[in-house]
Amino acid sequence: MNRRDFIRLACGAGLGCVGLGCSSMAGSSGGGKRPNVLLILADDLGWSDLGCYGGEIATPNLDRLAKNGLRFTQFYNSARCSPTRASILTGLHPHQAGFPNLSGVLPKHCVTIPEALASAGYRSLMVGKWHLSNQSTPTQRGFDEFYGMIGGFNTFWKENSHYTRLPEGRSKRAYVPGEFYSTDVFGDYALDFLKEGAESGKPWLLYLAFNAPHFPLHAYEEDIARYEPLYAQGWDTIREKRLARQKELGLVPQDLSLTPRSVIPKNQFNTQTGWADKDNPAWDSLSADRRADLTRRMAVYAAMVDRMDRNIGRVIAHLKESGQLDNTVIFFLSDNGACAEWDPWGFDESSSAKNILHTGDDLKTVGGPGSYISYGSAWANVCNTPFRLYKHYGHEGGTNTPLIVHWPAGLKTTPGALTREIGHVTDLMPTILELAGVSYPKEYDGNTILPQEGVSLVPVFQAKRLAERAIFMEHEGNRAVREGRWKLVALQGKPWELYDMDSDPTEMKNLAVENADRVTFMAKAWDAWAVRCRVPLDPENEKLKGGNLPQTPQIANKPLTISCQVEPQSPNGVILAHGGNRQGYALWLQDGELIFGVRVNGQLTTVTAAQTPSGKIAIVARLNRDGSMQLEINGRIAGEGKAPGLIPVQPIDEMTIGRDDNTAVGNYSVPNSLRGKIEKVNISTE
């Protein structure tokens, strides 16, 4: 691919199957019957955790799928839970699908896989973790039946209000105390849904999105006990053994060296614990008590993966017994790399640096109903063997996911084959639609739909090559572009790094200096893609995470004064936003007019400037103690209004500048990015 074509692909709309020779495989077997689709998503699973990817965890059911199917070695996700889920379901990049970060809502300009499949008579079922906002639930976005969590993570042990059955009014299973464990329950509902619809004869889509092995790490004691002796060997030994198995399986080059223990990039929590930007420690350097604590944590994680595999086995057994396995296309993947939050010791409280060193009898409580733990960055480094870094980051440890495809009636590849073809989660939508014989819609429910970004993987299933293309990624300022053998990648606020992935799949030898021209044109292509897909070009200092954190302005029951200087290059977009559709405030441009909005208990009050000058402007917006609002431009009053009062509680949604990544404060669709320059932002309270 020459540079001109490379830039064109970055700037152009989604290409679908253009140039791929995408003759449909729908009805290619089974007398023309459309295939069923089973899409299985793990949560925070590392690249090397499964046996068929080199891991020591018992995953016989997934291993059998791999033995009789196809495995990808270079398949990319979007580095985080919600962004990947949005991309899978829409075929768009997460920024286009309303999820540039963890918060958002699926917009009307996208269509989901179940919505598109409805035209072909598919029955669409979902079990598990949604994590795409409660403003657009699974049944509002095309699924006929749903059981699971609308949110992101929760206890595995108790069916609290976070576990939901939709549509409302549908009957739920009853579990006696001590019987509920969400991974098993998701297996129960998956089987229920499949059996309930069997008599219809319709093809079906089942999206089975486990919340395992995401924190809080919870598992049965008998499962944990099987793994504790194994992980007492420590993370250094386990990493070495995983790499050796990967070489035996042909997953990595035979001469690949084990990477050094990965660094722990600075974050708001490990700055408190002293681990920011340090390397994970050697196992042998730890005290006996610390080794025992960390052995237990990893054993809980492994037990969760083991239990997930067993429930996948239950579903596969049903498909085989009911004669549906041969014509069911099964996809298995993870939403991101293994999770390092927040340092080598792990945490014992959500969104916190708190760590407890569990010793003696207290060790047996770890992983049980009363605990809330993660396993930390060093074990995450193991789970991502042989790669560097983790969930959140654009390096291979954050974005390379295992992908297993199993379809006895349709795959033309050799059973157990590996493919080096490069893919991305945006490819699943066009692949599934092609297999179902469904065209991607230009309009849906009266709305114009964005063109899909991915390409169909059907040629790979036919043992053919994909056309060369570039794949772009961004999350929290961590960015990457993969094109052929080359990968350009950078941490937030850091220079671009360039790697030859054919000879250096673990990204150890940075070739950026000696290939400056290549870096320049790949970076320009990324910039062009970012503009087209509304990705923040300079996200550093763009977001103050967590509305309740100390560094975020504390605004509950306080008068506010917001000032900034703006030089917009577009007539629409958010200047800044703090909060969401319940509580918060925002400044934004709409058709060139400046608007100040305040949300109080869900009620939006806006003040629109009578006249907004072009060019650079100085803005001051005030929310006074009595609820009165003033908007000034260049020192002159431009508008006034009256809110019900002060914002009564601290917003949970973070503050963002240049876009709104959460539920919208104003009457716009998120993220509503602004092009231009924003300077000297100041928020003061009395």
Indicate the range of 113-122, 446-455, 605-614 predicted with least confidence: 605-614
Q: What is the mean pLDDT of residues 413-429?
A: 98
- Domain assignment of residue 560, yes or no: yes
CA distance 522 to 481: 7
* Band of residue 537 on the pLDDT scale cut at 50, 70, 90: low
* CA 158 vs CA 174, 362, 363, 603: distances in Å: 12, 22, 21, 34
Last residue of a domain, one of 424, 447, 472: 472
| Cis ω before 430 (30° cut-off from 0) | no
Same domain? 182 vs 300: yes
Q: Could you read off the pLDDT of 376-415 as tens digits, one per residue?
A: 999 999 999 999 999 999 999 999 999 999 999 999 999 9
pLDDT of 496? 98
Q: Active site includes 131?
A: yes
Domain count, the chain: 2
DSSP 72-123: EEEEE--SSHHHHHHHHHHSS-TTTTT-SSS-----TT---HHHHHGGGT-E
Q: What is the mean pLDDT of residues 208-232?
A: 98
Q: Could you read off the pLDDT of 324-365 as tens digits, one per residue?
A: 999 999 999 999 999 999 999 999 987 788 999 999 999 999
State the average pLDDT for the chain.
92
pLDDT of 477? 92
pLDDT of 7? 43
Which residue in the list 17, 95, 110, 131 is annotated as catalytic? 131
Same domain? 331 vs 439: yes
Which residue in the list 17, 52, 81, 110 is annotated as catalytic? 81
- Domain assignment of residue 286, yes or no: no
pLDDT of 367? 98
Looking at residue 31, which CATH number applies to its domain?
Answer: 3.40.720.10
Same domain? 466 vs 552: no
Same domain? 16 vs 150: yes
Q: Could you read off the pLDDT of 105-134 as tens digits, one per residue?
A: 899 999 999 999 999 999 999 999 999 987
* Band of residue 15 on the pLDDT scale cut at 50, 70, 90: very low
Of 572 and 50, the one with more pLDDT: 50
pLDDT of 16? 38
- Domain assignment of residue 452, yes or no: yes
Last residue of a domain, one of 425, 451, 472: 472
Task: Label residues 412-441 b or e (16+ Cβ within 10 Å = b).
Answer: ebeeebbbebbbbbbbbbbbbbbbbebebb
pLDDT of 40 over the 70 cut:
yes
Same domain? 555 vs 461: no
- Domain assignment of residue 398, yes or no: yes
Structure tokens at 338: 């293994």
- Domain assignment of residue 542, yes or no: no
Contact predicate 82/104, CB 8 Å: yes
Indicate the range of 281-290, 305-314, 574-583 predicted with least confidence: 574-583
Contact predicate 608/594, CB 8 Å: yes
